[in-house]
């Protein structure tokens, strides 16, 4: 998957991730280059919501508030945004409830958008995912998914990000609002017909 790895690196460079991480382009490429060997084979099928891997940059290197505006819908121009329902400072409290690599960048493997869970209660969806030995996505991983594959985010096939929580009943999610991607949240006990639960097989660094 050398070509796909190179595409994702170039995509992040084009979207200004080196600057967000406080690096020049060479420094950023050096940061992610060790991950090349872990990139699996397989063709992305973004229309079906499945991709073999994502290159994820963590909030330690690039803050969520600065990465969401670097997303857009497929063939769209309006930047993604964080919903105002996140009170000031609250994003810092939405931390990973899953084990993450310690590195500032890593690969997320065997990713599914999770539309099979549209209409399911988020708590129930996360239980099914755990029973399959899979992991829900974090906020940063959800942003990576629509950054590298914007065509994954479509009407009635949006997704929750159960891998980031803040200790209350809110579950982060990404959906479409005002013709742009929006990072918001929904209650853990409330089903939505247009909101599934994204998941992955594993992570590698």
Residue pLDDT, tens place only, 99-123 = 999 999 999 999 999 999 999 999 9
Q: And the tokens for 114?
A: 């999770």
User: 2 pLDDT band (50/70/90 cuts)?
Assistant: confident
Q: C-alpha 145: how far from its chain's center?
A: 4
Angle at 152 (CA atoms; ends 148, 157), nearest 5 degrees: 150
Given a contact cutoff of 8 angstroms between Cβ atoms, the answer to whether 196 and 160 are in contact is: yes
Residue pLDDT, tens place only, 43-70 = 899 989 999 999 999 999 999 999 999 9
Burial of 30 (0-12, 13-18, 19+ CB in 10 A): exposed
| Cα dihedral value 76, 31, 51, 124, nearest 10 | -90
Give the span between the Cα atoms of 203 and 110, in whole angstroms: 9
Residue 12 has what pLDDT?
98
CB atoms within 10 A of CB 13: 15
Pairing of strands 180-187, 164-165: unpaired
User: 1 pLDDT band (50/70/90 cuts)?
Assistant: low
Given a contact cutoff of 8 angstroms between Cβ atoms, the answer to whether 117 and 153 are in contact is: no
CA neighbours within 13 Å on the CB side: how many for 126?
Answer: 19
Produce one character per residue of 138-164: b if its CB has 16 or more CB atoms within 10 Å, e if not: bbbbbbbbbbbbbebbbeebbbbbbbb
DSSP 2: H
Mean pLDDT of 5-12: 98
């Amino acid at each position: 998957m050398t070509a796909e790895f190179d595409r994702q690196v170039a995509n992040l460079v084009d979207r200004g991730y080196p600057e967000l991480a406080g690096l020049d382009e060479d420094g950023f490429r050096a940061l992610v280059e060790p991950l090349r060997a872990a990139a699996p084979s397989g063709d992305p099928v973004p229309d079906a919501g499945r991709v073999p891997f994502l290159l994820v940059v963590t909030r330690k290197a690039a803050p969520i508030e600065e990465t969401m505006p670097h997303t857009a819908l497929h063939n769209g121009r309006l930047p993604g945004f964080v919903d105002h329902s996140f009170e000031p400072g609250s994003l810092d409290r939405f931390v990973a409830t899953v084990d993450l690599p310690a590195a500032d960048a890593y690969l997320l493997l065997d990713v599914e958008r999770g539309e099979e869970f549209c209409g399911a209660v988020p708590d129930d969806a996360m239980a099914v995912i755990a029973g399959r030995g899979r992991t829900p996505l974090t906020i940063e991983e959800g942003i990576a998914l629509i950054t590298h594959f914007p065509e994954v985010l479509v009407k009635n096939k949006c997704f929750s990000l159960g891998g980031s929580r803040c200790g209350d009943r809110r579950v982060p999610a990404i959906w479409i609002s005002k013709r742009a991607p929006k990072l918001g949240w929904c209650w853990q006990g409330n089903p939505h017909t247009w909101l599934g639960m994204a998941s992955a097989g594993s992570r590698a660094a």
